[in-house]
Amino acid sequence: MGTDLEEIKNRLNIVDVIGDYLRLEKAGGNWRGLCPFHNEKSPSFMVSEEKQIWHCFGCQKGGDVFSFVMEMEGLEFKEALKILAEKAGVELKTVNPKAAEKKNRALEILELATKFYEFQLWEGPGKTKILGYLRDRGLKDETIKEFRLGYAPKGWRNMLDFLTKRGYGANEIFEAGLIIKKEGGQGGQQNYYDRFRSRIMFPIAEYSGKVVGYSARVAPGEDESQAKYINSPESGVYHKSRILYGIDKAKGEIKHADFILLVEGNMDVIATSQLGIRNVVAISGTALTSEQVDILKRYTKNFRIFFDMDSAGEGATRKSIKLCLAKDVSVNVVELPMGKDAAELAKDDPSALKRAIGSAKDAMEYVMERALEKFDKGTAHGKRMIAENVIEILEGFQNGIEKSHWIKKLADELDVKEQTLTEMTEKATLRGRTGESAERFQKKEADVAPREKMDVLIEDLIGFMLVSKEVWKEVAEKEMFPYLLKRDELFSAMIKEGRTVSFDFDVLVGAIDREMKLRAEKIYFQKKFRLGLNNVLEEAVLSDISKDSEFLFSEISKEIKRERMADIVRDLKSAEERNDREASMFLKKELKELLEGK
């Protein structure tokens, strides 16, 4: 694996990879741009071409080319590794060949199945009726082909027979979600049947375009007493909570437009995309999930929710608004005439659809208007219901200023005291938070725990050592107290391995584990660069780095002495409480020597 990482890094330039996602400009020997992970007006995102690492001085994220792709695409390390390996033309020597082979077989099966469904639509039994239906819905042939729509014909074993003849086992096909096992079946092909029959097939792809599952609509004229749409089951490659229909085609357009259009159904995505509005994805009939919001936030923090205007659509809109606002996402709502969906309006009145998207309403305005329409603000009961309806959404707001703004607006609308609504909101927020587990609460407390002075000093010294070989050598040659080396794992590694890695930052990060490496890169950037006047990122001038590091080492020595004295005083108190005269005399002698500087 280590060899794979090195080979990928050797073949790829981090500037080129990051440059595919955002605009970078030259800044001395480095590159800078606007951070894609938080909103900013002045660039605080820096890329070092020399070191092949990046760091944002605004949100403090950073790392190498792998961590960047992980952050941008919402991926695990192995997934990012695979993407970059393909980009670099490197064949990975996977650590788990069986698992990789199983996943690859599933993807092969799904790709073959997609081609089978496409053939059945264009050349098979779907050629007339199904293709005609899609055209009647306003879809062009090139759009149908782009989204790879297909048709699963009638019959119980079409897909099973097609794939088994190509060497795939029934169990593999079952695990890919294409067939169903009969109740009480003992194995063997006779105990399976096709999951999708007489249905229009919408392949669902992950971010890179590989098909991982399907959404299947019952064919027109067939039995709609069954579910109108059925989706692939959870599998080793298909995870409903993370998948968004159309993300593979929309991700670049989302970054360009700086907003995401979130719709309900697959046809909404296809019809809207056909009009040229391509920054659109669908939640495919399931509720919007926290994981999906996290993935989309990597592309933009501006969401426009575009669900049906019926009662179910309104309920889904409210839930989605609440989830997005709790994650500090800017949300607007696109409103359509009652009884219309995006796909229908795209066919009947494209200009009206574009106007609706362009004039999307602020989510809280939408919530307040709906509440005011539903209840009578002229009565005490109506005021209470309106307030509760709006506060249910407000309670999750991450932005305090915006929350205060809407509380004031609601107070004015209802002609009640602002303080009353503030207290209602605080109580609702508190009720929501009491569901947090003790473990999560403890973690939050740990995250904000103050760091000890010694740890800050050591990290500052590490920074000087990383940017200067000379300082690194000087510090490594000094006498180190054993417990100081135990204090910081990275510092210890730099002292012990300094000569082995030639006191070189680049060699060091290739020789330590990933977690330590990411920390070293972050410390390096924070010492090497700074935000200057007008919030402009510039390289720090380390005019007398040797003198600064000597001062730091002196401060560390003082802190070691202070901590040692504190330990002796504590031990001395304990010895005196036990009436241990021998220990007390020894500790007093040690304390005196420390005070006299011996």
pLDDT one-digit tens code per residue, 251-299: 888 878 889 999 988 999 999 999 999 999 998 666 888 888 888 887 7
pLDDT surpasses 80 at 309: no
Cα–Cα dist 475/553, whole Å: 8
CB 393 within 8 Å of CB 362: no
Amino acid at site 337 = P
Q: 49: which 2 tokens? A: 């071409």
In tens, the pLDDT along 461-476 reads: 888 888 888 888 888 8
Name the band, by pLDDT with cuts 50, 70 and 90, for residue 301.
confident
Q: In this structure, are 46 and 131 located in the same domain? A: no
Same domain, 266 and 333: yes
Kindly report whether the global pTM for this prediction surpasses the value 0.75: no
The pLDDT, as a whole number, for residue 435 is 42
CATH number at residue 169: 3.90.980.10
* Mean pLDDT computed over 205-219: 90
Q: Which pLDDT score is estimated for 440? A: 41
Mean pLDDT over 137-144 rounds to 94
User: By three-state DSSP, how is residue 1 classified?
Assistant: coil
Question: Nearest 5°: phi and psi at 62?
Answer: 180, 175
Q: Token pair of 337, please?
A: 């005439």
Overall average pLDDT of the 33-43 stretch: 82
Do residues 464 and 535 share a domain?
A: yes
Strand 25-27, strand 30-33: pairing: antiparallel
Return the CATH number at 43: 3.90.580.10
Average pLDDT over residues 382-396: 87
* 3-state percent helix, strand, coil for the chain, nearest multiple of 5: 55, 10, 35
Whether residue 140 is found in the same domain as residue 110: yes
From the CB of residue 519, how many other CB atoms can be counted at a distance below 10 Å? 18
**Residue 61 DSSP code:** -
In the predicted model, what is the mean pLDDT of residues 234-244? 87
381 & 361 share domain: no
Cα distances (angstroms) measured from residue 318 to each of 6, 269, 591: 47, 21, 66
Report the pLDDT value the prediction gives residue 272, as an integer from 0 to 100.
Answer: 93
Report the residue count for the chain: 598
State the pLDDT confidence band at 444, using cuts at 50, 70 and 90: very low
Among 447, 466, 490, the domain boundary falls at 447
Angle among Cα 177, 179, 182 to the nearest 5 degrees reads: 125
pLDDT in tens, 143-153: 999 999 999 99
pLDDT of residue 434: 43
Answer whether residue 76 shows pLDDT above 80: no
Q: What is the pLDDT of residue 121?
A: 96
Q: Say what percent of the chain tops pLDDT 70.
A: 87
Q: 221 lies in a domain? A: yes
Please tell me the predicted confidence (pLDDT) of residue 188: 58
| pLDDT computed for residue 436 by the predictor | 42
Whether 240 maps to a domain, the answer reads no
What is the pLDDT at residue 449? Answer: 43
pLDDT at residue 446 in the model: 40
pLDDT at 1 over 50: no
Of 447, 464, 490, which marks where a domain is finished?
447
For residues 329 and 413, state if they share a domain: no
Confidence of residue 448 (pLDDT cuts 50, 70, 90): very low
**What is the residue-averaged pLDDT of the chain?**
83
Range with the lowest mean pLDDT among 210-219, 363-372, 387-396, 427-436? 427-436
Do the domain assignments include residue 236?
no
- What beta strand segments (E) does 87-231 contain? 150-152, 179-181, 192-194, 199-205, 211-218, 229-231
* Residue 459 sits in the same domain as residue 579: yes
Question: Could you tell me the pLDDT band of residue 598, with boundaries at 50, 70 and 90?
Answer: low
Cβ atoms within 10 Å of 513's Cβ, excluding its own: 9
Residue 345 sits in the same domain as residue 414: no
How far apart, in whole angstroms, are the C-alpha atoms of residue 7 and residue 81?
A: 11
Question: 184 or 262: whose pLDDT is higher?
Answer: 262
Residue 523 in domain: yes
580 & 566 share domain? yes
Q: For residue 305, what is the enclosing H or E element?
A: strand 302-306
Domain count, the chain: 5
- Distance (Å, rounded) from C-alpha 541 to C-alpha 538? 9
Per DSSP bridges, beta strands 53-56 and 45-48 are: antiparallel
pLDDT per position as a tens digit, 562-577: 888 888 888 888 888 8
Q: Are residues 404 and 534 in the same domain?
A: no
Give the pLDDT confidence score for residue 443 in this predicted structure. 41
DSSP state of 189: G
179-181 vs 192-194, strand pairing mode: antiparallel
Residue 194's pLDDT band, with cuts at 50, 70 and 90, is very high
Are residues 275 and 320 part of one domain?
yes
Any domain includes 242: no
Query: Is the model's pLDDT at 438 over the cut of 50?
Result: no
Would residue 571 count as lying in a domain? yes
Q: If you average pLDDT over residues 342-360, what whole number do you get?
A: 86
Residue that finishes a domain, picked among 88, 108, 132? 88
pLDDT at 185 over 60: no
237 domain-assigned = no
Element spanning 438, H or E? helix 438-447
Rounded to an integer, what distance in angstroms lies between the CA atom of residue 413 and that of residue 393? 17
261 found inside a domain? yes
- Host domain of residue 138: 97-231
What local confidence, expressed as pLDDT, does residue 339 receive? 58
Percent of the chain with pLDDT over 90: 26
Domain match, 81 and 105 both: no
